[in-house]
A and B are shown apart, each in its own frame.
Chain A
Amino acid sequence: MAYQVGVDVGGTFTDLVVGNGDGAIYKTKTPSVPGDESAGILSGLGDAAGNYGEDLAGFLSQIEVLVLGTTAVTNAMLEYDGANTGLITTGGFRDIIEIRRSYREHLFDIRLPAPHAIVPRQKRLGVTERIDYQGRVEIPLDEDEVRAAVARLGELGVESVAVCLLFSFLNPAHEERVRELVLEQLPEVPVTLSSEVLPQVREFERLSTTLVNAYTRPKIELYFHKLSTRLADEGFAGELFVMHSNGGMVGVDYAAEHSVELLLSGPAGGVVAGAEVSTLGGYRDVITVDLGGTSYDVCLVKDSQPATGTEQWVSRYRIGTPMVDVHTVGAGGGSIAWIDDGGALRVGPQSAGARPGPVCYGRGGEEPTVTDVDLIMGYLSPDYFLGGRMSLDVEAARQAIEEKIAKPLGLETMEAVSGIFRIINNSMSNAIRHVTVARGRDPRDFAMCVFGGAGAIHAGAQAPDLGIRTILVPKAASVLSALGNQMANFKITKVRSFIKRTDRIELEELNQLFGEMLEAAEADLGRQDKVSELLSQRYMDVRYQGQTHEVTVPVRSRTRRLTQLNLNTALGEFHEQHEQLYSFKRPEQPSEVLNLRLDLIGRRETSSLRGEAFGSEDPAEALRGERDAYFPSRESFVSTPVYNGEKLTPGHLVVGPAIIEEPDTTIVVYPDQEAMVDQYRNYVIEIQAGSFA
């Protein structure tokens, strides 16, 4: 038997999904162990082994592929426990990272402190050299200065070195020579070159990305090394891969060197699985939403492809590498409801987190949260939270809302409760508008694919507000990122600066550049016997001359080489996309290309989900009981049937109002909504047009 395993290590839980080729998957959720990610992973693997009737070593020896999604890079940036890092940069420009192009996160807050300096000024050293805007050497590299700078960094005990020189994306010779000179004196220290991390114009964005890579890299290398060793010690003989922020998987060596590319390693898996599960269900255009304890992550999927973007920030550092375009807002089950100085009811962005957590957890939380509201409304079961592993205190939750919100505002308790519910739903809907309307898309053209513990409680209330008519809740909603890792394909992304007016592009040159990028991507992918099919996708970033924001358009061809017709088609698409995004186009104006992009995707055979035959429509056999739940559209509590999700089978139809309880997920089917269990046991909720929840 050959197993394929997907693992997602989060702050609270480690999720694990196993497939063995028969179309069925096994999933498990175990508590994460802070400081030792391998402990949670091994405990999950132990559960899986038991499920298949194996001992741990026996099970591990049969795993073919293990794909890991990790938040280790994000955590290193949140806790600032990366390496002692130095920077060598063009002389006269050592403060680019502090000047920051004047980015400040708050327009009016004069007491906002500077971002934490991951590389303080004393370790940012300039050297004499200069490449010009066409890649020509204007001032040769002063190698003695480089040697002196390296010696200085050595004295300061640096464990990692970043190199970022002006215009290195056009001519990396100086950066490459600096690396040689660093390694002469500090042979053990990893060197990160900006021309390799992000070979793109704009020094601030490239520098920031390069610094984060250098800062996080040694820690990540060590983490992967320890994990591989530990797994091998326990009997693992398969291959370890890592989920990349672009939604594909990469080898562990590549991942360690390119740590900055793992920032969204965790969320990317959920998006990939959301896209895959939705496509299987017949929905190619979806918005994936993941509602966790502290955050709400939204991503647009069009034609089964997750949107990618290059505008992420992490811990106030700009990251320019292409990633799955997950938009995050601070809204979650732990978001706290409060009244501000002006007497307005607000929800979040402060969160009670997992500790002390919501009032109803009984762990000392005193501030009312969204989870408390979900409980009072009857959506969450006081006795069946986390599959019955935890009970919730409704009375404490109700008291907190009454005292902290209802009384001060002069409201009835349930008015306050439904007010909080509406406000949090609205914040989440605004996040969806941000990835759709603000980018020229109409949310009504999309289905919602919902996961995370509480996502499916709120989605049914949000959807009518956005005009969305279908909600998909994957059966594996509580472990969706792990599922995405389990089913991921290989994907290497390359970006290259190519600044050219579109009417002056030489087809020959363009083909050569794309060819070189493909070769580089193939080299990064390495020899992979797991790949069953290779395909490459090419894109260009295009803008009207003078603009500085580009529209990424696909460049499609049926052959390896682009023809003039392929190029013209891509350029034509630029004008159409520009109009869709920004309400106008100017095809008569000169346009220019700024970057070329290439994705190399290596498909692999994964255990695809297998459908089951439909049975009866009547879900009565899964009925667990009834409880009172409050529905805003009815303005009252309604006795509501509660179904056991584990007993629902394909074909079952659950008519709202109803509640479906999965072990780690609750689904609320509102009045005027119907949930159908599809052949993969995913829930498809249809919403009556014009209804409101």
Chain B
Amino acid sequence: MAVDVVFGEIVREYFESVAKEMNTTMDNTALSPIFNETHDCSAGLFFFDGREVSLIARANAEPVHIFASVHSVEGLISYYRNDLANGDIVMVNDPYFHGSHIPDWTVMKPVFYENKPVFFPGIRAHMVEVGGPQAGGYNPAARDVWQEGFRLAPIKLFERGEMRRDYVELLRANNRTPEIMEGDLNAMLGACRVAERRVREIVDKYGFEEVLEAVHYTLDYSERRLRSEISKWPDGDYHGRSVLDSDFAETRDIEVECTIHVRGDQVDVDFEGSHEQTRGYINSRPGNSGSWVYSAFSTVFDDIPINSGFFRPISLTLPEGTVVNPVAPAPVGNSTVCIGNDIGQATVKALEEIVPKRVGAATLDLVTDAFFGVDVRQPEAPFYVSFEYWATPISSGAAYGVDGWGAWSTPHCSLKMPTIELTEVQYPIMYLRGEYTTDSAAPGRWRGTPALQTVRKNPDGCVVTHVINIQGHRHPLQGFAGGSDGAGNWAIVDWQGSGEQLIDEVAINYESQPGELILYQSGGGGAWGPALERDPAAVLRDVLDELVTVAAAAEHYGVVIDPERLVVLTEETAAMRAEMAA
């Protein structure tokens, strides 16, 4: 027993440090800003006991990837079965082969013990460019999966330690920026190799059987903790819903319905009643759908180590043919956020009925602008593809006791915003604004995060092509326990110009001209609790900080502030709040 408790803890910590190290390797060596500045990738260490695949450790990285990658590793193992050898490195991206969307590549390296593949360090990374009809991998016009990019069924990139040059050439041939792709792929392979070395070190030191026992201890431990928490919940059925603006293909107001059936120490998360799959590219494969459910649960139990033991008490019901489990060949490209967010949000809303004080903004909605063009500032005028992260970063919001702050919400905050300066060095852009806006934070007892408005300008001689996707314009991020919803998202192209135009859904291959301005708004997450319950001193602080106007303080919060002296008028406030409450 003593050995279990102590040694289990030692092995758990060790494997988590291995996952961290994989992530660091990836961050520090990849070539694309999407990894090295933004960290849209994740590392995990997986384990196969001959029957099932378990995640044993993960790094602080985008959770939507890592939960889904369990699914991909399962797919790879079942596909190769007895055909894996020492030195192999395999990869897959096909959404209909245990993937989520084509840009997410999963690379993993089996580590053998006793002639069996047992441990699998794996990296899942969002590649900026994946071939297909649309540079940047987001094709709102796609009506089937083949129109979304180059689809990779499982392949062995390395066979017994030897690189399959033919496959690498195939990948290069199907990519607009092959040098960068290969650099990023190298970073992924490097991370897997680093992890293998570390796994071998601990097994050499303590012995294979001992480490296996500790792995089981670790998984059982997380399971036990989650079950003990769930068993405190009253049995029952709890409901939440979330609505997606559109599928970018004329289907609008797409509902995701979630019912959490609590029975003893386990739950079934059931999406019966959700919208049927649609023509547009928002349909979510099961790996992705499950990821969003698990992410939502992780925010409620933030101190339980995340591994497959954590998933065991949670079963999923994903009706086939709906947006949460589409049938091939439905397009899926944008589902990792658009519908993914709604799956997560519907789950959080259902959890709100059970544990209101433990929920808050924990998802993200979307303004993507995948932009590309030629950098005429440089002598060789290279072609580039990138994402405008400054268009979309604010999704954090309030929770019980805490105002919204920062940018991306927990648990998506492992994504990092690129800096203005390095982005301008790397791409032909000039930013004129990137700032919170007044009266945009969702009012509530604890308010949401203010919306961010960003203005970018094309330098002289630069024409840029944009694929802009907007969600959360009509259905912004939701508030909790009576708090208001977030401010919502939109973009205006040719802002202050003759062709000024609001984009509230989609713009495909829009060409911005030299000198043109584009304005984006990324609305924050919702508030927690009724605005009339907010501490007047906190409202005043927001007024002094120019986040809330004196007029809005009265209108939304019922707090009357003397506009000259900037002090709260206590009696007037009490009277106004009484009136508003009635």
* Any B CB within 8 A of the CB of A458: no
Chain B residues with CB below 8 A from A203, complex form:
419-421
Closest to B222 in A: A342
| Interface pair A422/B10, CB less than 8 Å apart | yes
* Any B CB within 8 A of the CB of A404: no
Q: Mark A231-255, 1 if CB is under 8 A from B, else 0.
A: 0000000000000000000000000
Chain A residues with CB below 8 A from B180, complex form:
546
| Interface pair B408/A102, CB less than 8 Å apart | yes
Closest to A440 in B: B194
CB distance from B12 to the nearest CB of A (A): 9
Q: Mark A328-348, 1 if CB is under 8 A from B, else 0.
A: 000000000000111111100
Q: Mark B1-39, 1 if CB is under 8 A from A, else 0.
A: 110011011100110010011001101111111001100
| Interface pair B13/A427, CB less than 8 Å apart | yes
| Interface pair B224/A342, CB less than 8 Å apart | yes
CB distance from B82 to the nearest CB of A (A): 29
Chain B residues with CB below 8 A from A111, complex form:
360, 399-402
Closest to A420 in B: B6
Contact of A546 among B31, B194, B393, B405 (CB under 8 A): B31
Flag the segment in A487-495, A579-587, A662-670 that touches B: A579-587
Task: Report the bound CA distance from A110 to B410 in whole Å.
Answer: 6
Flag the segment in A90-98, A171-179, A364-372, A568-576 that touches B: A90-98
Chain A residues with CB below 8 A from B303, complex form:
340
Given known contacts A108-B410, A582-B29, A437 and B198 CB-to-CB distance under 8 angstroms: yes
Flag the segment in A12-20, A114-122, A623-631 that touches B: A114-122
Chain A residues with CB below 8 A from B189, complex form:
584
| Interface pair B419/A112, CB less than 8 Å apart | no
**Residues of A155-184 contacting chain B, CB below 8 A:** 166-167
| Interface pair B5/A546, CB less than 8 Å apart | no
| Interface pair B362/A419, CB less than 8 Å apart | no
Total A-B pairs in contact (CB under 8 Å)? 225
Closest to A421 in B: B6
Chain B residues with CB below 8 A from A122, complex form:
544-546
* Any B CB within 8 A of the CB of A54: no
Task: Report the bound CA distance from A341 to B228 in whole Å.
Answer: 9
Flag the segment in A353-361, A408-416, A673-681 that touches B: A408-416
Chain B residues with CB below 8 A from A342, complex form:
221-222, 224-225, 228, 304
CB distance from A405 to the nearest CB of B (A): 10
Closest to B437 in A: A95
| Interface pair B436/A98, CB less than 8 Å apart | yes
**Residues of B220-275 contacting chain A, CB below 8 A:** 221-222, 224-225, 228-229
| Interface pair A434/B430, CB less than 8 Å apart | no
Chain A residues with CB below 8 A from B415, complex form:
102
* Any B CB within 8 A of the CB of A39: no
| Interface pair B420/A546, CB less than 8 Å apart | no
Contact of B299 among A95, A110, A138, A434 (CB under 8 A): A110
Contact of A110 among B10, B302, B306, B422 (CB under 8 A): B302
* Any A CB within 8 A of the CB of B549: no
| Interface pair A106/B410, CB less than 8 Å apart | yes
* Any A CB within 8 A of the CB of B361: yes
| Interface pair A113/B9, CB less than 8 Å apart | no
| Interface pair B5/A419, CB less than 8 Å apart | yes
| Interface pair B420/A409, CB less than 8 Å apart | no
Contact of A583 among B190, B361, B407 (CB under 8 A): B190
Task: Report the bound CA distance from A93 to B205 in whole Å.
Answer: 52
Closest to B434 in A: A93
**Residues of B431-476 contacting chain A, CB below 8 A:** 431-436, 452, 455
* Any A CB within 8 A of the CB of B417: yes
Interface size on A, residues (CB 8 A): 74
Chain B residues with CB below 8 A from A633, complex form:
none
Given known contacts A104-B410, A342-B224, A499-B425, A430 and B17 CB-to-CB distance under 8 angstroms: yes
| Interface pair A547/B29, CB less than 8 Å apart | yes
| Interface pair A99/B417, CB less than 8 Å apart | yes
* Any A CB within 8 A of the CB of B555: no
Contact of A345 among B6, B30, B179, B359 (CB under 8 A): B6
| Interface pair B410/A422, CB less than 8 Å apart | no
* Any B CB within 8 A of the CB of A589: yes
Contact of A201 among B198, B411, B422 (CB under 8 A): B422
Closest to A590 in B: B179
| Interface pair A437/B414, CB less than 8 Å apart | no
Chain B residues with CB below 8 A from A100, complex form:
406-407
Q: Mark B46-73, 1 if CB is under 8 A from A, else 0.
A: 0000000000000010010000000000
CB distance from B108 to the nearest CB of A (A): 16
* Any A CB within 8 A of the CB of B534: no
* Any A CB within 8 A of the CB of B413: yes
* Any B CB within 8 A of the CB of A548: yes
CB distance from A530 to the nearest CB of B (A): 40
Task: Report the bound CA distance from A181 to B215 in whole Å.
Answer: 63
**Residues of A186-219 contacting chain B, CB below 8 A:** 201-205
Closest to A499 in B: B425
* Any B CB within 8 A of the CB of A558: no
Given known contacts A411-B2, A545-B31, A109 and B37 CB-to-CB distance under 8 angstroms: no
CB distance from A63 to the nearest CB of B (A): 46
Chain A residues with CB below 8 A from B406, complex form:
98-100, 102-104, 114
| Interface pair A109/B410, CB less than 8 Å apart | yes
Task: Report the bound CA distance from A438 to B22 in whole Å.
Answer: 9
Task: Report the bound CA distance from A545 to B180 in whole Å.
Answer: 9
* Any B CB within 8 A of the CB of A147: no
* Any A CB within 8 A of the CB of B403: yes
* Any B CB within 8 A of the CB of A426: yes
* Any B CB within 8 A of the CB of A423: yes
* Any A CB within 8 A of the CB of B186: yes
* Any A CB within 8 A of the CB of B183: yes
| Interface pair A92/B422, CB less than 8 Å apart | no
Task: Report the bound CA distance from A584 to B431 in whole Å.
Answer: 35
* Any A CB within 8 A of the CB of B416: yes
Chain A residues with CB below 8 A from B393, complex form:
99, 102
Chain A residues with CB below 8 A from B187, complex form:
582
CB distance from A277 to the nearest CB of B (A): 29
* Any A CB within 8 A of the CB of B577: no
| Interface pair B402/A113, CB less than 8 Å apart | yes
* Any B CB within 8 A of the CB of A549: yes
Of A94, A204, A438, which is in contact with the most chain B CB atoms at under 10 Å from its CB?
A438
| Interface pair B9/A112, CB less than 8 Å apart | no
Q: Can you offer 10 A-B residue contacts whose CB atoms are under 8 A?
A: A93-B433, A96-B420, A122-B544, A126-B435, A343-B224, A410-B1, A419-B6, A423-B10, A547-B30, A549-B28
Query: A residues bordering B, Cβ < 8 Å?
Result: 92-96, 98-104, 106-114, 120-122, 126, 130, 132-133, 138, 166-167, 201-205, 340-346, 409-411, 415-416, 418-419, 422-423, 426-427, 430, 433-434, 437-438, 465, 499, 544-549, 578, 581-584, 586, 589
Q: 9 closest pairs, A vs B, by CB?
A: A546-B31, A114-B405, A92-B433, A102-B407, A108-B302, A121-B545, A342-B225, A549-B28, A104-B413
Taking A112-B402, A343-B5 as known contacts, 5 extra A-B pairs with beta carbons closer than 8 A to each other, sorted by chain A number, are A92-B435, A345-B6, A418-B2, A423-B9, A427-B13
